[in-house]
Amino acid sequence: MPDDLSSRLDLPLLAAGQLQKHITVNEALTRLDALVQASVRSRTAGPPASPVEGDLYIAAAGWSVPPGTLVRFDVPDWRPLEAPEGLRVWVQDEGRLWLREDGGWVELGRRLGEVQALSRFGLDATADAANPFLARLNSALWTARAPGEGGTGDLRLVFNKSAPERVLSLLFQSAWG
C-alpha cells in the first residue's frame, strides 16, 4: 500500500507536517460521499446538460471516459472514480442494484447463487399475505437435475397438508373465477 493512499478506497491520507491538510481531508470526504451507499442517476444515459454537484453516473457511450467508469460531477468537471471490486450501486433510473465485478458491472440479482428464508416472492408480480408466492408468466418449465449435475434425474412435485381433515386442492380457473 502506498503511504499516501488508503488500501481499499484509495483515500488520500494526511502526511506528517503536511501543509493545507484540509485539501487532503476534503478529497477523502468527497470520495467517501460518492462511494459509501453509492446511488447513480443512470448507467445508460450520456452526460446531462445541467448536472448538479455530486451527481454520480456509470459512464455509457458518449462520455469522455471508457464505458463502465464511475463518474462524479465536481464543479466544473466530471471526475472518474476508481470503483473497487464488490462496490454495490443503486441505479436510480432502473430501480436496480448493480455490483462491480471483474472490472465491469453485473446486476446483483444475477450474482445471487442462493436466496433463503423469503417470506414472500413475486416473479413479475407483487406477492402479498394471501399469495406469498406469486408468479406472473406465460409458461413455466420444471426440469430434473441430471445425475452429472448432482441430482438424481427424477422430478417429484409434492403437495403436503398439515392433517387429513385439511383441504388439498389444485384449482384451474379463467378470469379469476
Specify the 3-state DSSP secondary structure of 139. Answer: coil
> Domain limits of the chain?
21-111
- Alpha-carbon distance values, 29 to 52, 82, 148 (Å): 18, 15, 52
Please tell me whether the overall predicted TM-score, pTM, comes out greater than 0.85 for this model.
no
Write the pLDDT tens digit of every residue in 124-149. 999 999 999 999 999 999 999 999 99
How confident is the model over 149-176, as a mean pLDDT? 93
Distance CA 58, CA 83 (A): 10
Distance CA 135, CA 78 (A): 43
**Cβ-contact 68, 103 below 8 angstroms:** yes
Q: Which three cell numbers stand for residue 56?
A: 454520480
Return mean pLDDT, the chain. Answer: 86
Residues 90-112: pLDDT tens digits?
Answer: 999 999 999 999 999 999 888 88
